[in-house]
Amino acid sequence: MNQVGAYEATTHLPELLEKVSRGKKIIITQHGMPIAILCPYDEKKRYATVSMIETVKQFRKNKKLHGLNVKAMIETGRD
């Protein structure tokens, strides 16, 4: 995986996008610290995320807290 600084990424974006379109992943850094990854778009991963969200929604359906208070549980966890 290649690394480029944020300034270089902004000044050479078309070249970086060309590399990404050929399957490369590029880490964008700021002051030497990684801040982002430029990578090819994967349609399959998008649908996997949508599918997982739907699965969680279905799991939560008809689940009851049976008198538990979410706010109280959060406050208890802060102690």
In the chain, the amino acid numbered 39 is: C
Domain at 10, CATH number:
3.40.1620
- pLDDT tens for 4-31 read 999 999 999 999 999 999 999 999 999 9
Residue 29's domain spans which residues? 2-38
Q: Compute φ and ψ for 30, nearest 5 degrees.
A: -135, 120
Does residue 28 sit in the same domain as residue 54?
no
Q: Are 26 and 37 in contact (CB under 8 A)?
A: yes
Query: Sorting pLDDT into bands at 50, 70 and 90, what band is 34?
Result: very high
Share of the chain above pLDDT 90, in %: 53
The domain tally of the chain equals 2
pLDDT at 9: 95
Q: Are 14 and 7 in contact (CB under 8 A)?
A: no
What predicted TM-score, i.e. pTM, was given to this entire model? 0.55
The whole-angstrom separation of Cα 5 and Cα 23 is 20
| Residue 3 scores a pLDDT above 90 | yes
No. of H helices and E strands in the chain? 4, 3
DSSP 22-40: TT--EEEEETTEEEEEE--
Does residue 34 sit in the same domain as residue 49?
no
Does residue 34 sit in the same domain as residue 6?
yes
